[in-house]
Amino acid sequence: MAEEELGPSLAQMDPATKDENVLSFLIDMKIVAKAAEDKKVADSDEFKKRMAFARNRLLMDSLLAQEGKAATTDDAMKKVYEEASKQITGEQEVRARHILVETEDEAKAVKAELDKGADFADLAKKKSKDPGSADGGDLGFFTKEQMVPEFSAVAFTLEPGKISDPVKSQFGWHIIKVEEKRNRKAPEFDQVKPQIEQYVTRKAQADYVAKLRTEAKVERLDQPAADASKDAKPADSKMAPPAKK
């Protein structure tokens, strides 16, 4: 628990240093806690309120961690994977390069050099202001939604090997070369298993809270009872992250 509390501050430490820091933290915590007891800190109203809140939060986190863990079965995760794969598979992807410049005149000059036989990747390294220019303007594979509409409209129309005329977008002027087109394939299950596990866990937790909401009698003192029941909504799932493993 102390390691969880200290979190990222331990990440770059070697095991011996990490153990020493955790132990030092625990020693200091016990010493200061004893001093707080001697000063009757636990008797204050503020402490009691914080203790009640911490107890409720720990109870909530512990129960939701149990519900999330119980929901993340192989069958549940594979069902989510199969449904997502159906939406991904078959969507077209394009791999393209581009040269990005400030003005239309610059773009026309670049296109003229390409028409004369200049190498696209070499010209991208020399002329493009895009951060990917060092890779010859290579953007890798992308779907239509991953690029601005003006760019995608041209890239998905061009045939592989073809070079576009200047294309204007919010970023400047582009010259686009399409390298390859393919139908998108879903990643292997093992590649995305951690993301699927997190999704299934969070969904199970949110559904469980929603279920408890429908069964509970909620009274809000800041509004009439009927309105309180109508307005009651499950808390954001961010309030209850999956338990750390």
How far apart, in Å, are the Cα atoms of 50 and each of 37, 57, 223?
16, 10, 25
DSSP state of 40: T
Residue 223 sits in which domain range?
52-88+186-245
Q: For residue 230, what pLDDT is reported?
A: 56
pLDDT tens by residue, 91-108: 889 999 999 999 999 999
Whether 100 and 79 share a structural domain: no
What is the distance, to the nearest Å, from the Cα of residue 18 to the centroid of all Cα atoms in its chain? 28
Whether 224 and 175 share a structural domain: no
CA distance 198 to 83: 16
Per the structure block, which two tokens stand in for 224? 């009439």
The CATH number of whichever domain residue 164 belongs to comes to 3.10.50.40
Q: For residue 227, what pLDDT is reported?
A: 59
Contact 18, 34 (CB under 8 A): no
Number of domains in the chain: 3
pLDDT tens by residue, 110-149: 999 999 999 999 999 999 999 889 999 999 999 999 999 9
Look at residue 1 and tell me if it is in a domain: no
Q: For residue 226, what pLDDT is reported?
A: 62
Q: Tell me the chain's radius of gyration from C-alpha atoms.
A: 28
Contact 150, 168 (CB under 8 A): yes
Contact 127, 166 (CB under 8 A): no
- The residue from 183, 208, 234 where one domain ends is 183
The whole-model pTM stands at: 0.58
Whether 84 and 192 share a structural domain: yes
> CB neighbours (10 Å) of residue 191?
9
**Between these two residues, 88 and 75, which has the higher pLDDT value?**
75
Whether 113 and 159 share a structural domain: yes
Query: 3-class SS at 98?
Result: strand
